Amino acid sequence: MWKYQRIGLLGRPNSQSVLNTIGRLWQLLEQQGLQVRMHDSYAQEMPEQARGALSTAKLGAWADLIIVVGGDGTLLGAAREFATYSVPLLGINRGRLGFLTDIMPDEMAEDVLAVLQGHSILEDRFLLQASIRRQGVELYSGLALNDVVLHPGEAIRMIEFELWIDEQFVYSQRSDGLIVSTPTGSTAYALSAGGPIMHPGINALVLVPMYPHTLTSRPLVVSGDARIRILIGQDNPVLPQLSWDAQLQQATEVGDEIHIRKLPHRLHLLHPERHNYYDICRRKLGWGQKLGQR
């Protein structure tokens, strides 16, 4: 009857609404006779349910499905943690936007049980792997589902860098930075900076300059398999920062190289059968309805 029988649970910490939803979800799953394990980050907040809690590595290897309770930011973090495992993720929305966590709490029981029975849509999304290298030595590496962003940090100062794609020089630029976004992230920070919306099934990256000091710089869409290299210029009054999904951040230095490429592993993201990407865009971005429905 059940396509998924070993269910892992995790959510946004320090949120009473998330705790309440996880508690209801735990009860629902146990009533169906399913095996349920909590991520060990909830060991203190939910001690009874967290008995037998598992680390990320153990949960990723054990679970058939991981249900993430929170907002899109919570799912971004879970995506980075579980990207190298084959386990799919399903999002329950306890946040604001809900592009990725698209099941609402009041529809949770019906939708989750339907997904567990196999009535769902499975999407594959790719992540980016970005590393900082100094004099040829990799100092830091991280993953991003939405975007990798080079920016000046807290200072309002322009930074200088060179952009290379597949080892071909593209341009040097003075600007507030550069957003390298996946299709998933094209409705996030890249959209706010004037980038295009890309359907999540497209194998492409978009590079969006942030307030460039030129009249001719525009967003650039390239192959998702392209290898991006950014060289930090010599004339930088501040140390540029690199961020992954706006959740992880690391400082760079003059002469550092940032290498960005697609992660070989793909994220498996589950949705209810009624999921429609364009409907989400209409509701979340305020697009117009059909003329006869006004």
| CA atoms of 69 and 58, how far apart (whole Å) | 19
Q: Where are the beta strands (DSSP E) in the chain?
A: 6-11, 35-38, 65-70, 89-93, 120-134, 137-144, 147-151, 159-165, 168-175, 177-181, 204-210, 220-223, 228-232, 241-244, 248-251, 257-272
| CA atoms of 241 and 243, how far apart (whole Å) | 7
Q: Per the structure block, which two tokens stand in for 161?
A: 């860098």
Based on the number of CB atoms within 10 Å of its own CB, is 1 exposed (0-12), middle (13-18) or buried (19 or more)?
exposed
Q: Any bridge partners for residue 159, and if so which?
A: 175
Q: Per the structure block, which two tokens stand in for 127?
A: 């992540």
Q: Which of 131, 142, 126, 251 lies closest to 181 in space, CA to CA?
A: 126
Q: Per the structure block, which two tokens stand in for 5?
A: 């029988």
Angle between helices 16-31 and 108-116 (to 10 degrees): 50
Residues in the chain: 294
Is 111 a known active-site residue? no
Are β-strands 228-232 and 257-272 bridged in parallel, bridged antiparallel, or unpaired? antiparallel
Q: Per the structure block, which two tokens stand in for 82?
A: 């579980």
Contact assessment for residue 169 and residue 177, using Cβ atoms and an 8 Å cutoff:
no
From 64, 72, 176, 245, active-site residue: 72
Q: Which residues are catalytic?
A: 72
